[in-house]
Amino acid sequence: MNAKVQMTPEDKLLARYDREQVDMLAAGAAQRSDTGAVQYAHKKEWWICAEYQSIKFLGPAGTVLNDSGLGAVRLTVTLWRACRCTRSARRQ
């Protein structure tokens, strides 16, 4: 399942969820895996992108074999912007 919500022209929210079921499996293998991710992005004068991912593996008896998550944030800010002045603008 995928979803995208464009909240404003600068802001969007993305989400994804997957479930995989395996009928024939080797000993010790996961019977089911669930993965998901959520991402928020803002892009205008400053940019930020935040993301969280999770994964869970379940064994045949429903026991959790692995359950983990990972988050990340990236921020970009322009501190100085070059000014392009024309010759006539400098004389004024």
Domain ranges in the chain?
2-91
Higher pLDDT, 46 or 10: 10
d(Cα 32, Cα 88) in Å, to the nearest integer? 69
Share of the chain above pLDDT 70, in %: 80
DSSP collapsed to 3 states, the chain: CEEEEECCCCEEEEEEEEEEECCCCCCCCCCEEEEEEEEEEEECCEEEEEEEEEEEEECCCCCEEEEEEEEEEEEEECCCCCCCCCHHHHHC
Question: Cα angle vertex 81, ends 80, 82, to 5°?
Answer: 120
User: What's the pLDDT tens digit per position in 67-82?
Assistant: 999 999 999 987 766 6
User: pLDDT band at 8, cuts 50/70/90?
Assistant: very high
**Does the pLDDT at position 89 exceed 60?**
no
Confidence at residue 22, expressed as pLDDT on a 0 to 100 scale: 82
